[in-house]
Structure 1
Amino acid sequence: MWEPGVLQVHAALSWPRPPGRRGTAGQTPPAPHASTTHHRLAPRAFARLPALAELSLTHNGLLNLSCNALQGLSAGTFLGLRNLSLLLLHNNRLHTLHPDTFAPLQNLLELELQFNDLGSFGDVAESFWMLPKMERLNLCNNNLTSLRSERSLPASLTELSLCNNSLSGLDGDGPRFLQNVKWLDLSYNNISDVSSFARVELRNLTNLKLVGNNIDVFQVVNVSDAWTHNLDYSGLRLNRYSQLVDLCRLLGKSMRPMRSLSLRSNNIRNVSHNAFSACPPLLLLDLSRNRLKSVGCVREMLNASTQGQLKALVVEHNLLNGLRSCSQGQVLTQLRFVSFRFNRILSVRGWAFRYAPNLDRLHLNINSVAYLDRRALWGLQALTELRLDNNLLTDIYEDTFRDLVNLRTLNLRNNHVSVLFPGVFTKLGNLSILGPGREQPPPADQHVLQGLQNLSNLYLDGTVIERISHVFFTPVQNTLQVLDLMGNRIHYISMKPDGPPPFMNLHKLYDLKLLAQQPYGLGIIPPRFFKGLTSLRDLYLSENKILSVAPDAFDDLGQLRRLNMADSSNGMGDLPPGIFKNLRNLVSLDLENAGLRTLTLKVFGNLTKLRNLQLGKNELQTANSSVMERLVGLRYLDLRKCPLTCTCDNVWLQEWLNNSQVHVVYMYNYSCHSGERSFVYSFDTNVCYEDVGLYLFACTFPALLLQMLLPFLYHRTYWQLKYRFYVLRAWLGDRWRRGKAESCRFDAFVSYNSCDERWVLEQLVPNLEAGGSPAFRLCLHHRDFQPGKYIIDNIVESIHNSRHTICVISRSYLRSEWCSMEIQLASYRLFDELKDVLVPVFLEEIPERELSAYYRMRKVMLKKTYVTWPPETQAQQLFWAKLRMALAAGTTEEEEDGGRTTHGSEKDSKPVLESVGKIAS
């Protein structure tokens, strides 16, 4: 969990960062300096972290402080880290230190410099002598050959580790250069000069380690003022009986009480009777890492004084093959702790610990115990902790734990117990922690836990439980707080519950582990599976192949703070909406490799207190901005190995990564999964701010609208459009003719309908062309149109080659599209060219109401006077006279223009026609 003041970055500083990339403050962060031959930390590398208290930058390939290849530190490397208390520089290649490297670290408490190439203790002391608070310094595994230095060690330094160097003695400058050191480790050096200990004051030491040196410890004690009880006698080849006796005699001369005697790694093969009888009273005897095969009854190798004081006996990592029975006799009344871990013990006989009736803790774990006598633990009424895990036990009898009435912790895990006899835990009324091991208790038999009225922690991991019954937990339902069911065989294949919820009565349970069910995982989490767990705070479901989760599975977990569902991907995909709706107190959520494809508000919207969210190794291509905005408490986010895309959908994510206060793991290593080698935090977002959609709409909408309107227009306005087209052509043709001299071939163009053709041929043509003087030449369709031309071209040309246009109007004429076009073309000359060329002739009376539908004709009549064909014979002579007068109005004057003869003035045509109209009316 990320916390302010603590920076932990593991392999996160080696990101490929492009030059010139701006940070959140608008400044370019300094590029880390790297070289092909050595690595350094640049000056002021941490200048902007003044509140940092701990710096742990491990396992980085280039810039980390530990487990790297750093060969030097600049003078100003740690400027700004005034509050740093722990600095790890181990596992590098430092061979020298600048005198001012550590000067800014005025609050440094511990410095780790082990596993480097430092060769001069003087240079090291020069670099940290001014640190007023440093307490611990580790210089193990370097190349130090001497402790000479011009600078004294800080007065605050109490622990100094110099193991695994090449020191030959304590040759520091002055006898008091180690006067404040209380814990000194000189193990595994080449110290053979015993006299050097006489020149150094060591009286304040509380622990001195000399293991791995070619030195006589008895001479060291004789020449130095180091108190003998502070020496660690491990690894000094004290394996003979005479050496042990002499050592005890030497220790017996001490005026101070002896707290511990450590004889580890001395290759001791046996301990004879009274081997430690001459030793002063001991509190701790450690014989670990020797070659002991038997220790007897322990009391036999100690004297009466020692037996009365000994509190702890540690005989680990030896070759013990059994613990035999002890007869009645003197007991070690103060012995509280015995550990025989990491041996080869096959059997423990009855009354094996009779010598320690007040034993409090007994560790027999990590052995090969296959036989535990039912009386082996009898008499240990004071025992509170018993470790029997990692053995070969097969049977636990009913009275095995008969006398352990005060036992609080019992660990039987990783054994081969196949049967737990009824009542085996009945006497363990004070037991609070139980790990029964790989037995298979009947799931519905509550008698297995009978008598454990104070049990709080139950570890059933690694068993073969296939189903959980609420009845099984009945005896401990009011006390159980921690339940471990990891690595069992619990599996569900249906959403239909097969009984009451298994944990319905465990209202005090706060920690539940169900991870790694074998071999197929949980499969399905049924509805209300966790009902009743109203106090649960930690739930672990990782390493299960979950196919689906019921939407109400977590409804009762209102107090849940940590939920782990990592590595549960097995086709589950997205979580059902509302699954976390009641988890308002959730602080940590691990969904790594859970198969998630999207993040939705319906799933994550209520997690307002969430601080730690791990989403690595999922199928997320985009991150939902609404979800991140809702997670107001988020401080730690892991999106590693998600196929994030560098598209406009993730523009907000780029800005959020660069400006958010959330600690995003490996933020600068998130690469785009779109084919290009770019990174999510820096891909080009300019294209995302262009409103491409608007441009596309502006281009496509008119075309789409036109495509929709064309069929309608074609159906409703075909003739109107066609007519407009012809008018346009006529206008263009007329414009072309304006620049040329014109000669009218005809006096009048006759526009009529085929229904009125008889009247035209029998009345109009004879009377105007041959019936009087002057004679007029008329243009008729059938007679004067040029063959092979378009009809519209013939009409336009005839109108413009005629001085007038006679429109023979009848009801049939009004219904004709062609006639309507001809009158419109003639009207164009009337309205646009101010040429009075139109002569309307009505063959019949047409009422006003009928003409209202023909807006073109009505428009002409409002502008022009007209003549009507009378049915009476007497009036017909007047009709022809008026018509001749109208046609002759523009031909009274002769005008020669390019061989063209004009019979009248154009300006006279309108008055004459008007007079004719008056006569007709």
Structure 2
Amino acid sequence: MRVLLAFPLFQLLLLCQLLSHCVQHTRTYCQRYNERYACDCSAEKRLQVPDVPWRNLILSFNLSFNHIQNIAVDDFSGYVHLKMLYLQNNRIQSIHDRAFTSTVNLERLDLSYNQLTNLLTTWFDQLFSLRHLNLLGNKYQRLGQGFLFQKLAHLKTLQFGNPSLSAVVKKDTVGLKHLEELVLHGSALKQYEEGSLGRLGPIARVTLVLRELVERDSSLASKILRDVSSPETLLVLTNTTLISERSMMPFQEVKLKGVKKVALKYITITDSAITGIMKEMDRSNLSYFAMEDSTFSGHGNWYADTHLPHLETVFIKNLNFQYFYEVRTITYLTNILPFLKRVTAINCKLFGVPCETSKVLIRLEYLDMSGNFLTDPTMRETACGGEGAWQQLRTLNVSKNSLRSLVLLGNLFTNLHKLESLDLSQNVYFDMPERCAWPSSLHYLNLSASQLRKVTSCLPGSLHILDLSNNDLTVFDVALPFLKELLVSGNKFKSLPPGRLYPSLKILSIHRNALNMFSSIDLKEYIKLEDLKAGYNSFVCSCEFVAFLQFDVGHLVTLSDGRQSYICDSPVAFRGELVRNVHLSIFECHMKAAVSVLCAGFLLLFLVCGILCYRFNTFWYVRMTWIWLLAKRKPAINRRNDICYDAFVSYSERDSEWVEEFLVQELESTQPPFRLCLHRRNFLPGKWIADNIIDAIEKSRRTLFVLSNHFVSSEWCKYELDFSHFRLFDKGDDTAILVLLEPIDKETIPKRLCKLRKIMNSRTYLEWPEDEAQRSTFWCKLKAAMNSEECEGAA
């Protein structure tokens, strides 16, 4: 029974273990990749190498700053085109010996700052294309058991070593033939086989991290320096402490091998150590000496009878000078200073140079004292009041200091007849005087970030390049006939400077200002302008500016900052949109023309409509409809109480003679006489004629229409005909009598007289006879028609 229970339990545990193993080894995907086939999954706390879609296309894979511990055999399988692989700053402890078999095209591999204790030659067996390899900062003590780099014949950059590296022997460097840069971290070295690095031949740049090794074992340090030194090598000593003169003994090898360039980075050095270096390098070929990001704990007491006739360049940057205020002069270095041509002292707490020292620098061509504590008085002392110092100087940089007076600086430099480039940027001047003195040779002047509010004729007229970026300028109208490049970005310009003042200008940089727009007229003032940078301004995307920037500006200048930097600020509808993507309608761009065309179109439409309306009598129909509406609104009368006439006679004025001589005489002479309503005698004066017609028809028993060709052409007869029809016929009354004075062809009756056509088609009408014998019958029938209503009423 226990066996039966144990077996399912064992199966369950096995299944859980398998599921856990599957979950643990399920690959996630790297989602950050771009169109350049570069995949970046750095700093994502990944525990294993992720998968990548289309891994056979990936060129660059960045997995740095994760938590990867192991590289499996298939982690990089299929990456046949991979050129760059970054695995630094992980927790890698082991790498499968065939992990990089597929990456045959790999050119850069970074495995630095992991936890590798053993380096295997099989990793690099297929990496024939590898150019750059970084193995720094791991835990290995030796460079493998065999010939680690034997297959890496094309390697150009090699970085290896760590605080645990204890030995370097000749076999470690077998196979390296074309190395251009070497970085060695060997602070804990206890064994170095002479010639191990020397067999590599001259290397362009060698960086050594020796820390206390120079002090602890100067002979071992000497072996290393002897192997890596050559006249073609830039020797960089970094992360090292140099305290005593004895620690400088290895520099004898540097001198003997004819090294010309030495740089010290991230070091701590004392007066004694500097004196030791100077003694060891006495009469050497040293031409370049640099010291960066280091700490100097001395007082500047470097008294040594040292001759360095080839030393031309001294570069010092970010030097923590602990006792800088105690250093007064270094004129005791008279055997070195006269040969210097290029001196750089950036961010070194330098508050001035004694005039005695400046006068010794007789060959100085380049001087950079930016980022220090120079003031106007100390600058006067440094430049010896503008007399007797730096006569060969061509380039001077005193930016990022505390200078205030342009007049003073101009006077100090006016006698430097070879000065071509002057950088006075990032000081505080505020205002510029109207007149200044400058050397006539000055071609480049940098006054950027100096809080200038205006510029004047103080600017030297000989300038070819002027940098006024990042000030508070709103106007720039100083004539500079030789100016070729003008940099005024980061100011408050609302328009381009007048181009007529700069006939030689080829490059104009005016981005990040307050420009609203510019046009071809503005650019054509610049006769020789080729390159324009005007992006990131407050552009008003008007029709003219958008059209100019999209189609015309390329014919005048090159927008070297790219069209993606030209962005609309207004109108609001286009704010933040690229000018090249803006599309404005014709009404926005050509309002006057569009309105004119629109008005002309409407006018033409009205004209055509008017012609059509005239052609089809539309106006007549409208007027009739209006009057018909008036008739409809007028309340019907009580026909028995308000009837005043037997008939309202509707006739044409041209037929009035017949009406008065025949019709009226005949009907009103009858006993009893017929009461006829005629417009001539019965219409009330001053009353609207349409109302008179309506009233006359409504107060008459009948409407007698005297039809003739004149009647058809009479407007008011037409109204009377329609009133009669609207008011009476619509109610079903039979009150209209038609008298035809002359034959009328129904086809000739205008179509608009549809009522007349309808009446003539549906009613019997009386025709006026030409034969007098038949007229008695006509009158009899007419009177009978006039009396029919009474008969009907009586009945």
TM range (shorter): 0.5 to 0.7
2:676 to 778, 786, 789: 778
Q: Specify the alignment match of 1:377 in structure 2.
A: 333
Q: Aligned equivalents of 1:416 and 1:731: distance in 2? A: 100
What letter matches 1:532 in structure 2?
G
| SS of structure 1 residue aligned to 2:193 | helix
Q: Specify the alignment match of 1:514 in structure 2.
A: 447
The answer to whether 1:489 aligns with 2:425 is no
What letter matches 1:514 in structure 2?
L
Q: Aligned equivalents of 2:782 and 2:229: distance in 1? A: 157
Contact in 2 for aligned 1:257/1:280 (Cα 8 Å): no
2:81 to 104, 117, 120: 104
Q: Specify the alignment match of 1:559 in structure 2.
A: 484
Contact in 1 for aligned 2:447/2:468 (Cα 8 Å): yes
Deviation at 1:382, TM superposition (A): 2.5
Counterparts in 2 of 1:479 and 1:796: CA distance versus 1, 3 Å: farther
The root-mean-square deviation of aligned C-alpha atoms, in Å, is 6.5
Counterparts in 2 of 1:38 and 1:507: CA distance versus 1, 3 Å: same
1:459 to 393, 397, 415: 397
Deviations 1:375-400 (A, max 9, x none): 32323333334445545565644433
Q: Aligned equivalents of 1:450 and 1:834: distance in 2? A: 132
| SS of structure 2 residue aligned to 1:399 | helix
Counterparts in 2 of 1:698 and 1:375: CA distance versus 1, 3 Å: closer
Contact in 1 for aligned 2:392/2:416 (Cα 8 Å): no
Q: Specify the alignment match of 2:453 in structure 1.
A: 523
Q: Specify the alignment match of 1:244 in structure 2.
A: 218
What letter matches 2:282 in structure 1?
L
Counterparts in 2 of 1:209 and 1:728: CA distance versus 1, 3 Å: closer
2:646 to 742, 746, 749: 746
What letter matches 1:439 in structure 2?
M
Q: Specify the alignment match of 1:162 in structure 2.
A: 135
Q: Aligned equivalents of 1:282 and 1:115: distance in 2? A: 35
Q: Specify the alignment match of 1:616 in structure 2.
A: 536
1:544 to 454, 464, 471: 471
Q: Aligned equivalents of 1:321 and 1:389: distance in 2? A: 20
What letter matches 1:616 in structure 2?
Y
Contact in 2 for aligned 1:492/1:524 (Cα 8 Å): yes
1:221 to 193, 201, 210: 193
Q: Aligned equivalents of 2:390 and 2:530: distance in 1? A: 37
The answer to whether 1:138 aligns with 2:110 is yes
What letter matches 1:591 in structure 2?
H
Gaps of 5+ in 2: 1-25, 607-618, 637-642, 654-658, 708-713, 725-735, 743-769, 791-795
Q: Specify the alignment match of 1:439 in structure 2.
A: 379
Contact in 2 for aligned 1:611/1:636 (Cα 8 Å): no
Q: When you count helix as a share of all residues, which structure comes out higher?
A: 2
Contact in 2 for aligned 1:805/1:826 (Cα 8 Å): no
Deviation at 1:482, TM superposition (A): 1.5
Deviation at 1:484, TM superposition (A): 1.1
Q: Aligned equivalents of 2:501 and 2:170: distance in 1? A: 70
The answer to whether 1:892 aligns with 2:780 is yes
Q: Aligned equivalents of 2:497 and 2:228: distance in 1? A: 74
Deviation at 1:513, TM superposition (A): 1.4
Q: Specify the alignment match of 1:409 in structure 2.
A: 366
Q: Specify the alignment match of 2:30 in structure 1.
A: 39
Q: Specify the alignment match of 1:287 in structure 2.
A: none
Counterparts in 2 of 1:485 and 1:581: CA distance versus 1, 3 Å: closer
What letter matches 1:375 in structure 2?
T
Deviations 1:398-452 (A, max 9, x none): 43344433333344445555577xxxxxxxxxxxxxxxxx62689xx99616665
Give aligned pairs, total.
657
Contact in 2 for aligned 1:113/1:139 (Cα 8 Å): yes
Deviation at 1:363, TM superposition (A): 5.5
Counterparts in 2 of 1:265 and 1:73: CA distance versus 1, 3 Å: same
Contact in 2 for aligned 1:621/1:645 (Cα 8 Å): yes
What letter matches 2:693 in structure 1?
I
Deviation at 1:769, TM superposition (A): 7.5
The equivalences for 1:18-57 within 5 A come to 38-40=29-31, 45-46=35-36
Q: Aligned equivalents of 2:342 and 2:441: distance in 1? A: 27
| SS of structure 2 residue aligned to 1:900 | helix
| SS of structure 2 residue aligned to 1:480 | coil
Counterparts in 2 of 1:209 and 1:544: CA distance versus 1, 3 Å: closer
The answer to whether 1:348 aligns with 2:300 is yes
Counterparts in 2 of 1:597 and 1:887: CA distance versus 1, 3 Å: farther
Q: Aligned equivalents of 2:675 and 2:339: distance in 1? A: 146
The answer to whether 1:793 aligns with 2:723 is no
| SS of structure 1 residue aligned to 2:779 | coil
Contact in 2 for aligned 1:748/1:805 (Cα 8 Å): no
Contact in 1 for aligned 2:375/2:402 (Cα 8 Å): no
The answer to whether 1:129 aligns with 2:104 is yes
Contact in 1 for aligned 2:243/2:272 (Cα 8 Å): no
| SS of structure 2 residue aligned to 1:439 | helix
Q: Specify the alignment match of 2:516 in structure 1.
A: 597
What letter matches 1:559 in structure 2?
K
The equivalences for 1:58-457 within 5 A come to 64=40, 72=50, 74=52, 76-77=54-55, 79=57, 89=62, 91=64, 93=66, 99=76, 102-104=79-81, 113-115=87-89, 119-120=94-95, 122-123=97-98, 125-130=100-105, 134=107, 137-148=109-120, 149=122, 152-155=125-128, 157=130, 159-167=132-140, 169-171=142-144, 177=150, 180=153, 184-188=158-162, 190-191=164-165, 200=172, 202=174, 204=176, 211=185, 216-218=189-191, 220-221=192-193, 234-235=209-210, 237-238=212-213, 243-245=217-219, 265=239, 269-272=243-246, 281-283=252-254, 317-320=267-270, 332-334=282-284, 336=286, 342-344=294-296, 347-349=299-301, 352-358=303-309, 360=311, 361-362=313-314, 366=319, 367=321, 368-370=323-325, 371-373=327-329, 375-380=331-336, 381-387=338-344, 390-391=347-348, 396-416=353-373, 439=379, 448=386, 452-457=390-395
What letter matches 2:403 in structure 1?
V
Deviations 1:801-849 (A, max 9, x none): 254779xxxxxxxxxxxxx99777679999xx9954799xxxxxxxxxx
Q: Specify the alignment match of 1:426 in structure 2.
A: none
* Identity value in percent: 14
Deviations 1:118-169 (A, max 9, x none): 65264553243355xx4x5432134544433266154454653211234354
Contact in 2 for aligned 1:184/1:209 (Cα 8 Å): yes
Deviations 1:218-252 (A, max 9, x none): 2x538x966599998744753666x335765x779
| SS of structure 2 residue aligned to 1:486 | coil
Deviation at 1:282, TM superposition (A): 1.1
Q: Aligned equivalents of 2:95 and 2:135: distance in 1? A: 13
Counterparts in 2 of 1:130 and 1:514: CA distance versus 1, 3 Å: closer
What letter matches 1:900 in structure 2?
S
Deviation at 1:486, TM superposition (A): 0.8
Deviation at 1:893, TM superposition (A): 3.6
| SS of structure 2 residue aligned to 1:801 | strand
Contact in 2 for aligned 1:378/1:402 (Cα 8 Å): no
Contact in 1 for aligned 2:568/2:575 (Cα 8 Å): no
Counterparts in 2 of 1:182 and 1:69: CA distance versus 1, 3 Å: same
Deviations 1:659-718 (A, max 9, x none): xxxxxxxxxxxxxxxxxxxxx8xx9999999x9x98999799979999xxxxxxxxxxxx
What letter matches 1:320 in structure 2?
T
Q: Aligned equivalents of 2:226 and 2:396: distance in 1? A: 50
The equivalences for 1:768-847 within 5 A come to 775-779=673-677, 790-797=691-698, 801-803=702-704, 835-836=738-739
TM normalised by structure 1 equals 0.54
| SS of structure 1 residue aligned to 2:445 | strand
Q: Aligned equivalents of 2:344 and 2:471: distance in 1? A: 30
Contact in 1 for aligned 2:677/2:696 (Cα 8 Å): no
Q: Aligned equivalents of 1:244 and 1:102: distance in 2? A: 46
Q: Aligned equivalents of 1:73 and 1:473: distance in 2? A: 66
| SS of structure 2 residue aligned to 1:793 | helix
